[in-house]
Amino acid sequence: MSTLYLIRHGQASFGTPDYDRLSPAGMQQVAHLREHLEASEGLPQRLFSGRLRRQRETAQILAGQAAADREALAEFDEYDADALLRLHAVRAPAGSAGVPEHGTGSIDARAFQRRLESAGLAWVEGALGDDCPETWTAFRARVARGLESLMAREGRGRRLAVCTSAGVIGAAVGHVLGLADREALRLSWSIHNASITRLQYAGARVSLLTFNAVPHLERADRLALITYR
C-alpha cells in the first residue's frame, strides 16, 4: 500500500495586494506540520504541489533541508476564484457590493466566503456562462486525472504528499468517494489551512483514511493557528 497526503497550503495573504503567498501565520502552520510528520510518520519521500506560489512555498517549507524531491504539477492548481466572483457579480449582482477581489480593498472574510459559495454553486450548475476560464466539469476531471496519474506513476510502497488548495482537495476526495458535484465542492469550504487529508492506495483501489486533520495545531498554544482563510 502507498500513502498520499493531500495538504492544503498554509494561510495565504488574504486581503493584501498579493494573496498568493504565505502569511507569517501560514509559514508557522506548515513548520508545525513538518515537525509533526517528522516526529510521527516521517516526511514524505516525494513532495508535489500545484504551480501557485502559496502551494510551492508550502512544499518548500515541508521539504526543509530534506532530500525529498519537489515537483509542481498543473493538475493541482486551484481554480480561479476571482474570475468566478467577477462573472457571478455580473450575473447575480445583488449582494456583490462590498465583496472586492483579493487586494482591492478591505474584505470581510465572512461576506467573502458567502459570495464565494454562491459563485461556486453557480459554477457547478453551469450558470456562469461560457466566459469561465475553466468549467467545474473540466476542473474536477483535471484533478482526478492528476491524482490517478500520480498514483500510477509512483506505484506501491510509497509515501507522497501534494501541497495544494481546498478546491482541489474537495474535488479529489469527491472523486475517490464518488460524491456528487455539489457535495465535492461543499467539502472544500470546511478545509483548514495546512491540514492533512490522507489517502491509501494500491493499484486502482483508493481509500480515504483521514480528512482535514490538524493534529499539529490542536494544542492550547496553537489553537489560534487553526484557520480557514
Q: Render pLDDT for 93-151 as a digit per residue (tens, 0 to 9).
A: 654 444 455 555 556 788 888 999 999 999 999 999 888 999 999 999 999 999 999 99
- Provide mean pLDDT across the span 22-38: 97
Q: Over the chain, what is the mean pLDDT?
A: 91
Rounded CA separation 207/79 (Å): 25
Residue with C-alpha cell 490542536? 218
Distances (CA, A) of 190 to 53, 98, 148, 187: 22, 23, 24, 6
Rounded CA separation 151/2 (Å): 8
Instruction: pLDDT band for 155, please (50, 70, 90 cuts).
Output: confident
The residue that leads in pLDDT, 15 or 147, is 147
- Provide mean pLDDT across the span 51-74: 88
Question: In the chain, count of helices (H) and strands (E)?
Answer: 7, 6
Is residue 57 within 8 A of residue 72, CB to CB? The reply is: no
Amino acid at 50: G
Decide if pLDDT at 92 tops 90. no
Cell of 183: 457535495
Find how far residue 70's CA is from the centre of its chain: 17
Q: Which of 65, 4, 58, 50 is nearest to 29 (CA)?
A: 58
**Could you tell me the pTM of the whole model?**
0.92
Rounded CA separation 47/60 (Å): 9
Q: Which of 3, 70, 77, 13 is nearest to 37 (CA)?
A: 3
Q: What is the pLDDT of residue 15?
A: 83
Chain segment 163-195, per-residue pLDDT in tens: 999 999 999 999 999 999 999 999 999 999 999
Amino acid at 124: V
